[in-house]
Amino acid sequence: MTRLFNDPAAFADEALEGFAAAHRRWVRPVTGGVVRAAATPAGQVAVVIGGGSGHYPAFSGLVGRGLAHGAAVGNVFASPSARQIHSVAEAAHGGAGVLLMYGNYAGDVLHFGQAAERLAADGIDTRTFAVADDISSAGPDESAKRRGIAGDLPVFKAAAVAAEQGLPLDEVLGVAERAGARTRSFGIAFSGCTLPGADHPLFTVPEARMAVGLGIHGEPGIGEEALPTADEAARLLVETLLGELPEDVAGPGGQRAAVILNGLGSVKYEELFVVYRKVAALLGEAGVEIVDPEVGELVTSFDMAGVSLTLTWLDDRLEELWRAPADTPAYRKGALGTPEPEQAPVTTRAQDTAVPDTAAVPPASDASREAAGTVLAALDAVARVVDTHADELGRIDAVAGDGDHGIGMRRGSTAAQRAATDAHGLGAGAGTVLARAADAWADKAGGTSGALWGTILRSLGTALGDQAAPDAPRVADGVTEASAAVRRLGGAEVGDKTMVDVLVPFADTLAAATAEGLPLSDAWDRAATAATEAAAGTAGLLPRRGRARPHAEKSLGTPDAGAHSLALITRAVHGVLLNH
C-alpha cells in the first residue's frame, strides 16, 4: 500500500513537483506536466505523451532525448485534462507540429482529442495516436478497443526517434502506427494496488491464485488461475503472445522482437530475472531473435504485484528506432552526443492561460448574479452528496472497473465547488460560475467522468449565460444540450451501461415537464425520479464501453457507477431548487 503521503488529493501534484525537482538536468515543470529542460529544436516535431499518475516511470520519467519532448500528467489513474495537455504541448512545440500519444482509455481519448482540437485552433498542427497493445482487453477483430499498457514504451520511442531524425508530422505518425500495429502485451497479477489514502486494494486475488489479463488501473483480470511457478508464468505469457501474431508477421521462426518484461510495482527485480530466464529460452526455442530486451519497472500500477510481457515485432526500420540511444530520468540506452544546454524556464502562453484570471469576470446582470447563488448552492449539494457516497461509488465501480469512480467524482465536485465559490465572490453571473466550475471539474477529476461532467456544466453555463434571468425552459434547454454533447463526445448511447442511460431520460423528462408549464422544481422532481429509475435499470445491462467492457458479465446485477452518481446528483439538486 502507499504509506508516504500528505493529503491524498494532493498526492499526484506533490509527486510531480518532487520528480521535477530531482531531475532538473532532464526536465522542467510547466502547467500540467513537464517538458524537456532544453527547448524542442526549431523545425522538429514534438512528441507529447501522457496519462494518469501512479504508473511511474510512465509518463514523466520518459521525457528526454530519444524519447518524449513532454508529458502531461493527470491525477492518480486519471487522464490529464484537455487544458493540461494543451499547456504541455504548447510549451513543447518547436514549430513543426505535435504528436499526442497515450494509452487507449476512454478518458485519455476524450481529453487528448479535445486538446488536439484546441491546439489546431491555435494554429499548431496536431495529430493523436492511442497505443492499444493489451490483447486481453479485446479480441483481434476489435483491436481498436484494446487498452494501452507496457507497449506504450516501444511505440513512444519509435515515434520520438523518428521526430528527432527530422521526419515531418504525418511521417512520425506513420511510424507510431507501424510500431503500434506490431506491439502486443499480456499481464498477470497476484494482488491489487492500493491508492494513497485508501484502506483496501482496488481488487483482491484469492490465496494461491493469480489474475490473468489485468489492466494497469486496478482493473481485475479477465480470469483467474492457480498460482504458477516462475517458469509456468513465463510459459503462459510467451505462449499467449505467440498465439496472436500481427498480420504481416508470418510466424515466429526467423523473426526479431523487442522484448519487455515489465514489473507492475512490487515484484522484485530478482523475481523478474527468474521469469525472464525462461521467457528468453522459450522465445529462442520458437526461433525469435530478441533485440535489446528490457527487464524492470517501465509501466507500473502503484504497488500491484504482477508482471506483463510485451513483444514488438521488428522490421529493419523499427529495429533501428528501438536500438537508438535515449537519455531520460528513468530510461537510458546507448550514448548520445553532447547534452543539449539547459534552458531556464520561460513563461509560455500556456502557463499564462492555463488557469482562468480570477481577478476579473465578464459583466453580468443582477438577475444572473442572483441565479449564480442558486448555482453555487446546487454545486455545494453536489459536492456533499458525492462525498457521502464516494465509497459506495468506488465499490460499485470495482465490480467490473477500476474502483476509482468515487475518488474521481469527489476530486471533481470539490474542485468545481471551490471554483464556483471564487467566481461567485467576484460577482460572476450564472454562466461564468458554471464555466469556471466545468473547467475545474475536468482538470481535477480527469478521466472520462471529468471530461463528461465538464461538458455537462459548460453546456448548462452556455444556456444560462450571464445576462438573462434563468427560467425553467432555459434550464431544460441546457440539460438537453448537455445530453447531446455527452453523447457526441463519449460516443455512448442508451443501452451501453453508462451515465447516458440516466442523462437521456432525465433530459427528456425535464424538457417534457417544462413544456407542460410545470415550475422548475416540480419538473426537476419528475426528471430526477426518472433518473433514479433509469440508474437502477442499468443493473440489468452489459457494458459496451469503458474499462468495464472486458468484464461485462461481472457487472450484471450491479448498476453503472456513473449512472448511479448522476441520479444521486439530480436528486440532491432538487433539494436546492425547492429552497430557491
Enzyme catalytic residues: 217
Q: What are phi and psi of 68, to 5 degrees?
A: -70, 155
Q: Say which amino acid occupies 155.
A: V
CA neighbor of 272 nearest in space, from 241, 317, 234, 321: 234
The angle, 0 to 180 degrees and rounded to 10, between the axes of the packed helices 472-490 and 447-464 is 150
| E-only strand ranges, 123-167 | 126-131
Residues composing the chain: 580
**Whole-number Å distance between alpha carbons of 157 and 515:** 56
- 362: cell is 465578464
- In the DSSP assignment, the letter for residue 244 is S
What's the CA angle centered on 83, arms 80 and 87, to 5 degrees? 95
Question: Residue 225 burial (CB < 10 Å; 0-12/13-18/19+)?
Answer: middle
Task: Give 62's DSSP letter.
Answer: G
DSSP for residue 493: -
C-alpha grid cell, residue 285: 526455442
**HEC string of 552-569?**
HHHHCCCCCHHHHHHHHH
- Parallel, antiparallel or unpaired: strands 70-76 and 46-53: parallel
The residue among 295, 554, 544 whose CA lies nearest residue 403 is: 554
The residues that bridge with 27 in the sheet, in sequence order, are 36
Strand 183-191 versus strand 33-36 pairing type: unpaired
**β-sheet bridge partners, residue 187:** 308
Q: DSSP 3-state assignment of 296? A: strand
In angstroms, rounded to a whole number, what is the distance separating the alpha carbons of residues 251 and 180?
Answer: 18
One DSSP character per residue, 193-235 reads: ---TT-SS-SS---TTEEEES--SSSPPPSEEEEPPPHHHHHH
CA distance 257 to 438: 45
Query: How many other C-beta atoms are found inside a 10 Å radius of the C-beta of residue 368?
Result: 23
Provide the CA 418 distance to its chain's centre, in angstroms: 23
d(CA 433, CA 428): 6
CA–CA separation, 213 vs 219, rounded Å?
A: 9
